[in-house]
Amino acid sequence: MQTPYAVVDEAVLHANVTRMAAHARTLGLALRPHAKTHKTREIARLQLDAGAIGLTVATIGEAEVFADAGDLFVAYPLWVDAARAARLRAVAEQTVITLGIDSAEGAANLARHLPGATVLVEVDSGHHRTGVAPTMAGDVAAAAADAGLTVRGVFTFPGHAYAAGGRRQAAEDEAGALAAAADSLRGAGFADLVVSGGATPSAEYAGDTLTELRPGVYVFGDAQQWELGACAPDQIAYTVHATVVSHAHGRLVLDSGSKVLGADRAAYASGFGRLLDHPDARVVQLSEHHAVVEGAPRLPLGSIVRVVPNHVCNAVNLVDELVVGERRWAVAARGRNA
């Protein structure tokens, strides 16, 4: 096997899966991990065996791959047409499935193609991406019910937890937004609500406003979580093994570029990736097949190092398989954007 390739440390993976399951259990929350991070059937199975009530996915293509999970939530305001509806109906023959909506218009469109579909209303808790204002959630829920959908509750993604020092505040914002949204639905006559939140960086601070947590990255960890303080380096299960190919300018140049690490670099990131065994090292320059590293010892040419990608969800989506000891796990949902 030649570098660069993706390696999963199975012991660390198991510990991560177990720890988050215990955390959710302690909080009394259902755990519905987001499968977009690993896109791998074997890891989904581990999560379900550890007590997850089902999986979260982002696309219909992911739902198709994980249709045997028993209970899926597509945490996305899909714009459903006839072709998408046909695919969703096929998935629904295999598993319970819930969809996201974030507007009355989206709900009406969904109801036209999939009458009776079960939905959660997405609210914005501070990430400012999709989702309605929490106090408007009841209006969207009422419109959805009027259109013929089955409304089960509310969800949010507190993506602003991905900011230096932002984890606890994002969790508080999430709880506040979901509480307001749930109140808004109760005011519109809905009861027994699913209240779904969660993301790896904020999960530590989740409270009992929620009924369900949807973290994804925790199975692997990555340089972003490391730098946010949401994981320790010994909790990182996913690395790209790379070869030192050059000492140009007295630095290490590795054969792991953006085509295997991903090009993510958040504002708070200290580089384009890190080395697991050299905490002071940073990828300071990244091209498609070159990672230039500073802060590492001068390892000989030909050395193999373990690179921690910044954002593991995008890194996993670049490889066809994961190396797990002597086994290979297929990234079964790689590229399933649609």
Which residues are near a copy of itself by CB under 8 A?
1-5, 36, 58-60, 76-79, 81, 83-84, 102-103, 105-106, 109, 124, 128-132, 159, 243-249, 253, 255-260, 262-265, 285, 287-290, 292, 301-302, 311, 313-314, 317-320, 335, 337-338
CB 107 within 8 A of CB 80: no
| C-alpha angle 4-6-9 in degrees, rounded to nearest 5 | 135
Q: Which is nearer to a copy of itself, 2 or 26 (CB)?
A: 2
How far apart are CB 211 and a copy of itself at their closest, in Å? 24
Neighbouring CB atoms inside 10 A of 243's CB total 17
| DSSP code, position 167 | H
Q: Which is nearer to a copy of itself, 94 or 285 (CB)?
A: 285
CB 210 within 8 A of CB 177: no
How far apart are CB 80 and a copy of itself at their closest, in Å? 9
Tokens of 78: 């899909």
Torsion of the alpha carbons at 13, 17, 22 and 27, rounded to the nearest 10: 130
| DSSP code, position 314 | H
How far apart are CB 202 and a copy of itself at their closest, in Å? 15
Q: Which is nearer to a copy of itself, 32 or 127 (CB)?
A: 127
Neighbouring-strand partners of residue 274 = 282, 308
Q: Which is nearer to a copy of itself, 195 or 240 (CB)?
A: 240
CB 46 within 8 A of CB 337: no
Tokens of 307: 């690179």
E-state strands within the chain: 5-8, 30-31, 55-57, 71-74, 96-101, 118-122, 150-155, 194-197, 212-213, 238-246, 252-254, 273-275, 278-286, 291-294, 304-309, 321-324, 327-330
| Amino acid identity for residue 92 in this structure | A
Q: Which is nearer to a copy of itself, 86 or 96 (CB)?
A: 86
Neighbouring-strand partners of residue 96 = 71
DSSP assignment of 79-141, as one string?
---HHHHHHHHHHHTTSEEEEEE-SHHHHHHHHHHSTT-EEEEEB-SSS-SS-B-GGGHHHHH
How far apart are CB 49 and a copy of itself at their closest, in Å? 26
Compute and round to an integer the Cα radius of gyration of the chain: 21
Q: Which is nearer to a copy of itself, 211 or 310 (CB)?
A: 310
How far apart are CB 244 and a copy of itself at their closest, in Å? 7
Question: What CA–CA distance (Å, rounded) separates 219 from 15?
Answer: 9
